[in-house]
């Protein structure tokens, strides 16, 4: 676990602090999935703090099936040159060469994502070896801490991407919150066993027990389709929101995107959420997670 | 009595600024509404995405009220996106992007490059306690720099080494302070100490 920090001409780049710090600057914001430069522009104009460049939104990956991979570099370039907000892109779990390519394209954050087909069923990417920061999905505290151990500088709940069904994201946020709260209540001599049970390094477990929070920013993702969904995730402790299919699979993407941005800022003010929820047209139709056959559930990828 | 300093809480690293201000003896509160703005002695505009914060300021009718307080002499501090928002002029913004203004400078957004170019380096900042002997550690994240400084503003910090050497990264104009970097993420609260002192002196 060595950090690939290089002294650049201007100072030190790729440090844990600039990687984690980048995520701090996204807090309270909405990161939107986009598949074209035009969509990226709509997202930027709606107030997104960043866009996630990909070839197909999760709902389409789910519908069309097949192996889902990193996007075409031309597409990513097109989006990078169209917007001035940060651009993220997805690499397959364990596919360190896709991540190398994304870094070389100048992507601002790599999402090592279960939405794409995993490339390695044993190992995740060694994220310390990169200058570009990584965000990874997690369904519980142990998984989050293992990803942080591998160098993730930001965590998001997984949810069940491409469904428009927020129930799994709710479960993951509640699980993370409950497990963190439990750690803070344990006597110090029980943290060793807790680390063993969480399958995570003792030092990280101790840090979470002391501070009551993850050492990196925690966003939520997977199934968020309405302003109220976003606000609920924020009330459950998310520090920001990823919206995948929920925007561009809806009737009026520009207005829905702007409404989700506002609801994320005023997540604890029902009057504002009510106001921005009016007249948005149809939300994405969605599918119930229960109707998705278990082998097709994305949240169960990664470990 | 300790001053009450608001941190604009529309988007960005609000918590870090609140913690640094409280560490320096101020009372820090989030500001998202007009009534909250009216109750503070000074305002911090945090790091974040300047285009998002600009849109939210306007959507929630805070843009003009904050501008008016600034014109009346309210002390303010902005880091990174906050520097952009407190600058009178901006380069590299998106179409229609506005700034609150307050400091007679032209900032260039994302001037130091993309995230892979984000860096840390030591800085001497005029007015910050001991910064000649114990430099301020500057964390630059997709950071802006100051391209031009008008007569009303004073440069208080520059990058010292490398190809960006000489670039202006900290400026003060009366009770308004701006930095390209993020002291709030380092645990070193001396820049916030300077700001709290500015706020105390201006009351």
pLDDT by residue for chain B (203 residues), tens only, comes to 799 999 999 999 999 999 999 999 999 999 999 999 999 999 999 999 999 999 999 999 999 999 999 999 999 999 999 999 999 999 999 999 999 999 999 999 999 999 999 999 999 999 999 999 999 999 999 999 999 999 999 999 999 988 899 999 999 999 999 999 999 999 999 999 999 999 999 98
- A8 sits in the region (left: phi over 0; alpha: psi -120 to 50; else beta) called beta
Cross-chain residue pair B120–A50, CB shorter than 8 Å: no
pLDDT in tens, A57-96: 888 888 888 899 999 999 999 999 999 999 999 999 999 9
CA B87 to chain centre: 9
**Hey, of A9, A11, A109, A127, which one would you mutate to test binding to chain B, going by the most B CBs within 10 A of its CB?**
A11
Is residue A9 over pLDDT 50? no
CA A127 to chain centre: 15
CB distance A149 to A204 below 8 Å: yes
| Beta partners for residue A156, in sequence order | A137, A219
CB distance B83 to B178 below 8 Å: yes
Alpha-carbon gap, residue A193 to B30, rounded angstroms: 39
Is residue A7 over pLDDT 60? no
pLDDT at res. A4: 52
Tell me the residues of chain A between 80 and 119 that have a Cβ less than 8 Å away from chain B.
83-86, 103, 106, 108-109
- Residue of higher predicted confidence among B133 and A298: B133
**A3 interface with B at CB cutoff 8 Å:** no
Nearest CB partner across the interface for A103, out of B112, B116, B182: B116
Residues of chain A contacting B163 with CB distance shorter than 8 Å = 9-10
Nearest CB partner across the interface for A131, out of B11, B47, B116: B116
Instruction: Read off the pLDDT of each residue in A257-272 and give the average, rounded to a whole number.
Output: 98
Which residues, other chains included, contact A59 with Cβ-Cβ below 8 Å and sequence gap of 6+?
A162, A163, A164, A244, A245, A249, A284
Is B184 annotated as catalytic?
yes
Cross-chain residue pair B121–A28, CB shorter than 8 Å: no
Which residue of chain A has the CA closest to B122?
Answer: A11
| Beta partners for residue A243, in sequence order | A32
* Mean pLDDT taken over chain A: 93
Cross-chain residue pair A106–B114, CB shorter than 8 Å: yes
For A41, the token pair is: 């522009």
Instruction: Spot the catalytic one: B95, B184, B192, B201.
Output: B184
- 3 state DSSP class of B139: strand
pLDDT at res. A183: 97
Nearest CA to A126 out of A113, A112, A108, A137 is that of A112
According to DSSP, the β-strands at A87-92 and A50-53 are parallel
pLDDT in tens, A96-152: 999 999 999 999 999 999 999 999 999 999 999 999 999 999 999 999 999 999 999
Phi, psi of B106, deg, nearest 5: -110, 120
Instruction: Read off the pLDDT of each residue in A146-169 and give the average, rounded to a whole number.
Output: 94
Cross-chain residue pair A11–B161, CB shorter than 8 Å: yes
- 3 state DSSP class of B110: coil
- Catalytic positions of A are 90
How long is chain B? 203
- Residue of higher predicted confidence among A245 and B43: B43
ipTM: 0.96
CB distance B11 to A29 below 8 Å: yes
**B13 interface with A at CB cutoff 8 Å:** yes
Nearest CB partner across the interface for A265, out of B56, B116, B185: B56
CB distance A272 to A262 below 8 Å: yes
**Alpha carbon of A116: minimum distance to chain B alpha carbons (Å):** 23
**Alpha carbon of A62: minimum distance to chain B alpha carbons (Å):** 31
Alpha-carbon gap, residue A248 to B21, rounded angstroms: 40
Q: What is the pTM of this model?
A: 0.95
pLDDT at res. A291: 83
Cross-chain residue pair A28–B9, CB shorter than 8 Å: yes
Inter-chain Cβ pairs, chain A and chain B, closer than 8 A: 144
Instruction: Read off the pLDDT of each residue in A270-289 and give the average, rounded to a whole number.
Output: 90
Instruction: Read off the pLDDT of each residue in A145-162 and give the average, rounded to a whole number.
Output: 95
* DSSP collapsed to 3 states, chain A: CCCCCEEECCEEECCHHHHHHHHHHHCCCEEEEECCHHHHHHHHHHCCCEEEECCCCHHHHHHHCCCCCCCCHHHHHHHHHHCCCCEEEEEECCCHHHHHHHHHHCCCEEEEECCCCCCCCCCCCCHHHCCCCEEEEECCHHHHHHHHHCCCCEEEECCCCCCCCCHHHHHHHHHHHHHHHHHHHCCHHHHHHHHHHHCCCHHHHHHHHHHCCCCCEEEECCCCCCHHHHHHHHHCCCCCEEECHHHHCCCCHHHHHHHHHHHHHCCCCHHHHHHHHCCCCCCCCCCCHHHCCHHHCHHHCCC
Cross-chain residue pair B48–A14, CB shorter than 8 Å: no
């Amino acid at each position: 676990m060595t950090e690939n920090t290089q002294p650049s001409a201007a100072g030190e780049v790729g440090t844990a602090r600039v990687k984690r710090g980048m995520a701090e600057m996204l807090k309270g914001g909405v990161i939107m999935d986009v598949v074209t430069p035009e969509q990226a522009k709509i997202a930027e104009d709606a107030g997104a703090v960043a866009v996630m460049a990909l070839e197909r939104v999760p709902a389409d990956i789910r519908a069309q099936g097949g192996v889902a991979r990193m996007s075409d570099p031309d597409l990513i370039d097109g989006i990078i040159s169209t917007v001035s907000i940060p651009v993220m892109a997805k690499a397959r779990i364990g596919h360190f060469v896709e991540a190398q390519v994304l870094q070389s394209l100048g992507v601002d954050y790599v999402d090592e994502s279960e939405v794409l087909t995993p490339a390695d069923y044993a190992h995740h990417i060694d994220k310390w070896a990169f200058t570009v920061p990584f965000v990874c999905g997690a369904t519980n505290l142990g998984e989050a801490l293992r990803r942080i151990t591998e160098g993730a500088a930001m965590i998001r709940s997984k949810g069940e991407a491409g469904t428009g069904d927020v129930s799994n994201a709710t479960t993951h946020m509640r699980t993370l919150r409950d497990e963190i709260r439990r750690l803070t209540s344990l006597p110090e001599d029980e943290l060793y066993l807790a680390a063993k049970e969480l399958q995570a390094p003792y030092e990280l477990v101790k840090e979470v027990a002391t501070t009551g929070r993850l050492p990196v920013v925690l966003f939520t993702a997977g199934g968020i389709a309405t302003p109220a969904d976003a606000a609920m995730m924020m009330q459950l402790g998310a520090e920001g929101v990823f919206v995948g299919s929920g925007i561009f699979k809806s009737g009026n993407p520009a207005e829905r995107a702007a409404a989700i941005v506002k609801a994320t800022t005023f997540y604890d003010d029902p009057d504002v959420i009510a106001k921005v929820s009016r007249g948005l047209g149809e939300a994405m139709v969605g599918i119930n997670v229960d109707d998705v056959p278990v082998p097709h559930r994305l949240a169960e990828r990664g470990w | 009595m300790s001053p009450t300093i608001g941190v604009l809480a529309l988007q960005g690293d609000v918590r870090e600024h609140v913690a640094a201000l409280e560490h320096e003896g101020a009372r820090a509160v989030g500001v998202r509404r007009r009534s909250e703005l009216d109750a503070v002695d000074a305002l911090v505009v945090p790091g974040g995405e300047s285009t998002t914060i600009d849109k939210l300021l306007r959507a929630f009718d805070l843009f003009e009220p904050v501008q008016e307080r600034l014109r009346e002499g309210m002390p303010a501090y902005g880091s990174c996106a906050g520097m952009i928002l407190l600058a009178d002029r901006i380069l590299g913004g998106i179409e229609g992007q506005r700034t609150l203004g307050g400091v007679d400078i032209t900032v260039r957004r994302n001037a130091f490059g993309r995230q892979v170019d984000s860096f840390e380096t030591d800085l001497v900042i005029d007015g910050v306690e001991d910064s000649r002997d114990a430099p301020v550690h500057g964390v630059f994240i997709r950071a802006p720099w100051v391209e031009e400084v008008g007569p009303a503003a004073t440069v208080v910090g520059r990058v010292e080494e490398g190809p960006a050497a000489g670039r202006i990264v900290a400026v003060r104009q009366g009770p308004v302070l701006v930095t390209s970097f993020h002291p709030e993420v380092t645990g070193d609260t001396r820049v916030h100490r300077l700001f709290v002192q500015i706020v105390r002196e201006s009351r």
